[in-house]
Structure formats: structure tokens, C-alpha cells
Amino acid sequence: MPLATAHVATDRPARYVKQLISHMGHKATAELTGAGRGTITFRHGTCSLTSTPQELVLIAAAADPGSLTGVQDVVTRHLLRFATQEELHIGWTGPTAGDALEIVAPAIDDYLLAHCTPPDPLLTELAVTTRQATGRAAGMQVSPDEGALLEMLVRLSGARTAIEIGVFTGYSALCIARALPADGRLLACDVSSQWTDMARPFWECAGVDDRIDLRIGPALRTLRALPEGPAFDFAFIDADKANYPAYYEEIVPRLNPGGLLVLDNVFLGGRVLDPAFQEDDHQAMRRMNNAVAHDDRMDCVMLPVRDGVTLARRR
């Protein structure tokens, strides 16, 4: 279904929502769906309206491009008419995100993959075995360049103690564990023994099995059972997205000063920046990204690596 979005800068977004809903109610089905939010359903399409502190976000949807233009036109005309005290700029664009968003151009992606240290035969075998055994779920595994990044970060930070949330078949855990010193420890948390059982032989083969303490169970329960003080030099979160804010809040106080937290999938395929996506995962990731950026306990940088990787260092 064709979609178009407009972000309209204004100090009075909620007022425009109310005006549009009450006026359009004479010509279409229009309703307020919450504070500062509403939906207008026309014969050939819909427009959802959302207020944020500084803008009005409009998302138009219709069955075909012609009808979409019709929805955009009627909403734009009315909004401009209501804006008697300011000049509004209403520029519609296609969806900013969704599955269509290309974070890194494919040619650059090929180039950078060809210019990273390639995965060794053990990591390659783990990737192939995972694909054969888990099919589409194998897409959850970190990519070779992200694995190499994790390994490099652990080595550079000199970490001795690490924690991982989201093990799957053990690729990222292997990258982290082998970058730790021989007496280092990785606490690896996952709910699935079916997937993590596949990891063990690869960890053994790499000689890092004795560094990894695998805990099966909901990670939040595992985290909350840990002592509360700082204990970890390195943490990696790559599990269920709706729990990211809770994982973050449990892990930060348990990081040593200078400890590094790596958060995976912070773009959620670009959906974090498209208000059309409002599921629990999207809202949780936005909440966490905002919290990290304004957390005075941490310094952070967000990188366009794969699906977005945030590095956050405890001050």
C-alpha cells in the first residue's frame, strides 16, 4: 500500500489534530484516538495524525498512488487553512524506513566485507551449520564484520569479564570469549537450550568453553539475580527487543568504570525513525536510544554498522 509521511514543524500540533478531526468529521470518518492523536478515514485512503512536542506527524495511506495524492492534498489544504498564525511547511515523502531503508549502499557493503579480516574456518563452519540447522532463523546471527568488530572491541578494551544477552548458536559469544584473556569470563544468557546446544562444540573447538558460563532462562531474571555492583568490563545485548530498556537499566550499574556496552539492532531495519511503526519493539528501541543518548552515566556513539550498533562507555 503506498504510504507518505509529512513532519510538520509547529508549536501547536495537538491543536491542529483537534481542528482537522472536527472539521473532517463532516466529510469523512474522523476520530481522536488518544491525546494529540487521531485518524481520518476517507473513501480512498486514511491519514493518521500524531503530535510530538515540536511537530505534527502525518502518515497518509491509500490503495494506489492517485488516491494517496488525493488524501495528501485534502489534508494539506485544510491544514494550511487552519494555520492563520504561522506559516506551515508540509512536505510529503515516501516512507522513511520500513524494509526499504538501505542503511549502507550494497556496493559499499560488498567492499567493506571484502576488506575486513575474513572469518576463520571455525566461524565459517559455525555460520554454515547454523544455516543448515535453523533455516531462516540463521538471519539472527551477527554478520562476520560485526563479529570481527566485537572481537576487536573486547581486545582493545582489555576486558576480562563480559556478559552477553542473546547467544543463539554462539557466534558472537565465540568472538567475545576468544578475545578475553585465558582467565577471562563470559556470562552468556539465552532462553533457548535448543539453539545454544549447537554452540558448545564450537566453543570447545576454539578452546574457550571453560571461559563461558551459559545461563538458560529469561535474561532479565538472570540479570536481576546477579550482585548489584559493577562487575563487567564488556556487555553485548542482542536479544528480544522489547526488553532492551530493561536490559540496559540492569547492565549499566553492573559495568565497571570505563566498561563498554554494545547494543545491536538499534535501527530495527530503519523502523525506529518511521512513526508508522508503533509496535512494542519499535517503541522500546526508541525509548532506549533516547535514554542512552541522554544518560549522564555514559558516553555513547551510534554507528551505521549492519542494523545499527551503539557503543556506550560507562564514565
Ligand X SMILES: C[S@@+](CC[C@H](N)C(=O)[O-])C[C@H]1O[C@@H](n2cnc3c(N)ncnc32)[C@H](O)[C@@H]1O
User: Judged by CB, which is closer to ligand X: 219, or 261?
Assistant: 219
User: Judged by CB, which is closer to ligand X: 246, or 302?
Assistant: 246
Q: Nearest to residue 308, comparing CAs of 138, 114, 146, 144?
A: 146
Q: Is 117 exposed, middle or buried (0-12, 13-18, 19+ CB in 10 A)?
A: exposed
User: Judged by CB, which is closer to ligand X: 27, or 221?
Assistant: 221
Q: Under rule CB under 6 A, which residues in 208-267 are in contact with ligand X?
A: 218-219, 238-240, 243
C-alpha grid cell for residue 150? 566485537
Pair type for strands 37-41 and 29-34: antiparallel
Residues 70, 228: Cα–Cα separation, whole Å: 57
C-alpha grid cell for residue 241? 527487543
Give the binding range for ligand X (CB under 6 A) out of 24-32, 71-79, 112-120, 191-199. Answer: 191-199
Give the binding range for ligand X (CB under 6 A) out of 139-147, 152-160, 179-187, 301-309. Answer: 139-147
User: Judged by CB, which is closer to ligand X: 21, or 260?
Assistant: 260
Among 72, 169, 289, 310, binds ligand X (CB under 6 A): 169
User: Judged by CB, which is closer to ligand X: 5, or 243?
Assistant: 243
User: Judged by CB, which is closer to ligand X: 185, or 215?
Assistant: 215
Give the binding range for ligand X (CB under 6 A) out of 7-15, 138-146, 282-290, 299-307. Answer: 138-146
Residues 45, 42: Cα–Cα separation, whole Å: 5
CA atoms within 13 A on the CB side of 138: 15
Q: Nearest to residue 21, comparing CAs of 6, 36, 8?
A: 36
Give min distance, CB of 138 to ligand X, in A.
9
Under the binding rule (CB under 6 A), the answer on residue 189 touching ligand X is: yes
Under the binding rule (CB under 6 A), the answer on residue 171 touching ligand X is: yes
Under the binding rule (CB under 6 A), the answer on residue 142 touching ligand X is: yes
218-224 LR contacts (CB < 8 Å, sep 24+): 218/191, 219/165, 219/166, 219/189, 219/190, 219/191, 219/243, 219/247, 220/246, 220/247, 220/250, 222/187, 222/189, 223/165, 223/189, 223/247, 223/250, 223/251, 223/254, 224/250
Give min distance, CB of 309 to ligand X, in A.
12
User: Judged by CB, which is closer to ligand X: 42, or 238?
Assistant: 238
User: Judged by CB, which is closer to ligand X: 62, or 199?
Assistant: 199
DSSP-based three-state secondary structure for 49: strand
H or E element in which residue 157 lies: helix 144-157
Total binding residues toward ligand X, as defined by CB under 6 A: 20
Give min distance, CB of 102 to ligand X, in A.
21
Pair type for strands 161-165 and 185-190: parallel
Under the binding rule (CB under 6 A), the answer on residue 168 touching ligand X is: yes
Residues 160, 183: Cα–Cα separation, whole Å: 8
Give min distance, CB of 58 to ligand X, in A.
34
C-alpha grid cell for residue 313? 562507555
Under the binding rule (CB under 6 A), the answer on residue 192 touching ligand X is: yes
Here's the x/- map for ligand X, 81-110, by CB under 6 A: it reads as: ------------------------------
Among 141, 161, 289, 310, binds ligand X (CB under 6 A): 141
Under the binding rule (CB under 6 A), the answer on residue 201 touching ligand X is: no
Residues 252, 261: Cα–Cα separation, whole Å: 8
Residue ranges binding ligand X (CB under 6 A): 140-142, 166-169, 171-172, 189-192, 195, 218-219, 238-240, 243
